[in-house]
Amino acid sequence: MASTAVHGNPMNCLLSVTPRPLANFDPSLWGDRFSSFDLDNQAYELYSKEIEVLKEEVRSLLEQIFHSHARLENNEDCNDLFTAAVHFRVFRQHGHNISCDVFNKFKDNNGKFNENLTRDVMRMLSLYEAAHLRIQGEDILDEALAFTTAHLESMVTKLNPFLAKQVMHALKQPLHKGLPRSEARHYISVYEEDTSKNDLLLKLAKLDFNLVQLMHKQELCHVSRWWKELDFESRLPYSRNRVVECYFWAMTAYFEPCYSLGRIILAKIIVMASILDDTYDAYGTIEELEPFTDAVQRYNNANSKFLF
């Protein structure tokens, strides 16, 4: 009698296969909104021309402000904490080595910040924002941050809605730690309500924001079309379409208008990193990912000499 081959239970084979961790991500919230964007060249040219005219007027104004900071350090206008703090923050934020010694004027005989400063919320808010530009060893700014934070938190519920909105936003997201373009948009809406606003600066800020926004949309259109042309959605259907979010990340790193190419390149790199992340977290099995990881590591080792 012929022997009968014994075959294992087919279910054992199925159970030994690692299940694929499909995540079923939601589609992009943006659809084709940006890939179909068409730049309005007429509006772009109009904004550009108006901005160039206003720049000359604002440049003269800023030069006056820069020179006035020297007077503040020489004990002139010593009671103007708001101006001193704004000058310090703006110029240090743009790379100028402004000394923090100007804030010593606002201390009392005991070496503490004068409690009278708390009577003016805008002075406190300006000092709070300036303190975030501190560097290691600037104890006076460490003290200023602790002093202003404590008092702003205690007074916020007693302020009128206009001031309370500014203080709550600052406590949650200081200017220095925010995304420059997002903070600019927020501040334009706040500054517009300020009765002491400079109309020249406000107009330039709005025109600049509108111009750069058109630039951002054009760049995002380029990246969105790149995504569609490479057909990621059909080739790698498990991956997320987060082109807009990845571009937003790139915009935080290269927010200055002149870095258009940098934003585009970085956005594409982040998109690829996002796809790689989804490959590991939402598609690949251990049996697939181990040799894939090994191949990537071998590639990195082989090309590490070119990184230095």
pLDDT at 13: 38
3 vs 231, residue with greater confidence: 231
Contact 220, 37 (CB under 8 A): yes
> Mean pLDDT across the stretch 254-260?
93
Whether residue 226 is predicted with pLDDT greater than 90 in this model: the reply is yes
SS3 98: coil
Backbone angles phi, psi at 186, to 5 degrees: -65, -45
Name the percent of the chain lying above pLDDT 70: 88
Q: Report the C-alpha gap between 299 and 287 in whole angstroms.
A: 19
Whether residue 86 is predicted with pLDDT greater than 60 in this model: the reply is yes
The band of 24, judged by pLDDT with boundaries at 50, 70 and 90, is: confident
> Mean pLDDT across the stretch 11-15?
37
Whether residue 73 is predicted with pLDDT greater than 60 in this model: the reply is no
Predicted confidence (pLDDT) per residue in 181-218, tens digit: 999 999 999 889 888 899 999 999 999 999 999 999 99
Whether residue 154 is predicted with pLDDT greater than 80 in this model: the reply is yes
> Mean pLDDT across the stretch 61-74?
66
Q: Report the C-alpha gap between 19 and 37 in whole angstroms.
A: 41
Looking at every residue in the chain, the average pLDDT score rounds to 87
Whether residue 172 is predicted with pLDDT greater than 60 in this model: the reply is yes
Three-state helix/strand/coil letters over 118-164 = HHCHHHHHHHHHHHCCCCCCCHHHHHHHHHHHHHHHHHHHHCCHHHH
pLDDT at 88: 92
Name the percent of the chain lying above pLDDT 90: 63
Whether residue 110 is predicted with pLDDT greater than 70 in this model: the reply is yes
pLDDT at 52: 93
Q: Report the C-alpha gap between 194 and 203 in whole angstroms.
A: 14
Q: Report the C-alpha gap between 253 and 96 in whole angstroms.
A: 20
Whether residue 6 is predicted with pLDDT greater than 70 in this model: the reply is no
The end-to-end CA distance of the chain, in Å, is 73
Spatial CB neighbours of 84, under 8 Å, sequence gap ≥ 6: 69, 72, 77, 102, 103, 105, 106
- Kindly state the DSSP code that residue 197 receives in the 8-state scheme: -
Residue from 183, 182, 188, 181 nearest 204 by CA: 188
pTM, two decimal places: 0.79
Return the residue matching tokens 């230095």: 308
pLDDT at 205: 95
pLDDT at 17: 59
Whether residue 75 is predicted with pLDDT greater than 90 in this model: the reply is no
> Mean pLDDT across the stretch 241-268?
95
Work out the burial of residue 128: count CB atoms within 10 Å of its CB; fewer than 13 is exposed, 13-18 middle, 19 or more buried.
Answer: buried
All structural domains of the chain, each given as residue ranges with its CATH number in brackets, are 25-53+206-293 (1.10.600.10), 54-204 (1.50.10.130)
Whether residue 291 is predicted with pLDDT greater than 90 in this model: the reply is yes
Whether residue 306 is predicted with pLDDT greater than 60 in this model: the reply is no
pLDDT at 98: 86
> Mean pLDDT across the stretch 245-253?
94
Q: Report the C-alpha gap between 171 and 121 in whole angstroms.
A: 13
Residue type at 127? Answer: L
Alpha-carbon torsion angle 92, 96, 101, 103, nearest 10 = -30
pLDDT at 16: 44
